[in-house]
Amino acid sequence: ETGVTQSPTHLIKTRGQQVTLRCSSQSGHNTVSWYQQALGQGPQFIFQYYREEENGRGNFPPRFSGLQFPNYSSELNVNALELDDSALYLCASSQERGYTFGSGTRLTVV
Amino acid sequence: EDQVTQSPEALRLQEGESSSLNCSYTVSGLRGLFWYRQDPGKGPEFLFTLYSAGEEKEKERLKATLTKKESFLHITAPKPEDSATYLCAGHSYGQNFVFGPGTRLSVLP
């Protein structure tokens, strides 16, 4: 097992720009979900992918989009960045009942 | 609406001083109640999953319990290395986690 790897670890973007965050799932895990964690708060569910299809979405606008690839790695794309998008973005991969979180990408929007 | 709350928001303990953290949940179609530990700037680290009221699980100085509306994380004789934020999450029918805001625990030597 290689764990869940996220890249980059830190990122600074300007308001209005677009960003892509990446997640490499744990070996054998076919489900990946993304969470946004603002400072001092618990993670908030963005969406989940199972075998390359989105199968669940939280209360986030369409400018938050994602992809899952055949090797189960995943991307989170955010368009038209806003200051409030500054947060730690977490990826979690799972198979059945086992869930593993990555260390996250810290995004700062200025 | 699914909701998870945690109390207290922050807790300071002396080394060896036992205490409990509370998690109250309203999650439709609950598939499991999870506890995670999160260190600053890191992702959540899995501690326990509880599936039914009355269930208890232990790991070193930690014990988690579950009722129909609440879960407790008991910390016995904590050490400074137990300092972290402890997150409670309901795993819902929609297959996503509903997290609480966390309890920031500081254990002083």
What are the structural domain ranges in chain B? 3-95
Query: Cβ–Cβ of B43/A56 closer than 8 Å?
Result: no
Among B34, B10, B101, which residue's Cα sits nearest to residue A41?
A: B101
- C-alpha distance from B93 to closest chain A C-alpha (Å): 11
Show residues of chain A in contact with B46, CB under 8 Å.
Answer: 99-101
Neighbour order of strands in the sheet with A19-24:
A5-7, A19-24, A74-78, A64-68
**Which residue does chain A place closest to B32, by CA atoms?**
A97
Report d(CA B86, CA B84) in Å as an integer.
6
Q: What is the pLDDT of residue A71?
A: 85
Report d(CA B68, CA B30) in Å as an integer.
10
Q: What is the pLDDT of residue A97?
A: 62
Query: Cβ–Cβ of A48/B95 closer than 8 Å?
Result: yes
Q: Is residue A1 pLDDT above 50, yes or no? A: no
Among A23, A26, A31, which residue's Cα sits nearest to residue A76?
A: A23
Query: Cβ–Cβ of B43/A33 closer than 8 Å?
Result: no
User: By the 8 A CB rule, do B86 and B72 touch?
Assistant: no
- C-alpha distance from B96 to closest chain A C-alpha (Å): 7
**Which residue does chain A place closest to B100, by CA atoms?**
A42
Q: Is residue B79 pLDDT above 50, yes or no? A: yes
* pLDDT tens digit sequence for B11-66: 999 999 999 999 999 988 888 999 999 999 899 999 999 999 999 999 999 999 99
Burial A69-94 (b: 16+ CB within 10 A, else e): eeebbbbbebeebeeebbbbbbbbbb
Q: Is residue A29 pLDDT above 90, yes or no? A: no
Task: Report the topology of domain B3-95.
Answer: Immunoglobulin-like (2.60.40)
Report d(CA B86, CA A83) in Å as an integer.
27
Report d(CA B104, CA A35) in Å as an integer.
20
Strands A31-37 and A53-57, sheet pairing: unpaired
Q: What is the pLDDT of residue A67?
A: 95
Mean pLDDT of A80-100: 89
